[in-house]
Amino acid sequence: MKTKKLGPMARYGPRYGYRIKKRAGEIEKVQRAKHECPKCGRKSMKRKSNGVWECTKCGAVMAGGAYSPHTGVWRTITSILGGKRVEMS
């Protein structure tokens, strides 16, 4: 079941309330999207499990946040470094 306002969160029906389902939907949208791989630069990084992210193109595996591969600390560090790409081993 899917509706225009809530999208996949409509599966919960009338339970939990609109605001909670809206927040959960935003988080799930970020979690299920493809992200940029720090090693090859392609937009092919997918969530493998909680905190583990894998690139479907180059096979790089990295630890990250639960819902997105880059945590708030990572964003702070890259802004300090000026957006330089960090090499992965």
pLDDT for res 58: 92
Task: Report residue 81 as tokens.
Answer: 């470094």
- Please report, for residues 12, 25, 29, 66, the alpha-carbon distance to residue 86 in angstroms, rounded to integers and kept in the order given: 41, 31, 26, 21
pLDDT at 56 over 90: yes
In angstroms, the CA 62 to CA 86 distance is: 13
Domain that holds residue 1: 1-32
Q: Whole-prediction pTM value?
A: 0.70
Residue 54's pLDDT is 94
Confidence band for 84, pLDDT divided at 50, 70 and 90 = low
d(CA 3, CA 9): 8
**The pLDDT of residue 86:** 59
Q: Are residues 28 and 43 in the same domain?
A: no
- CATH number, residue 70: 2.20.25.30
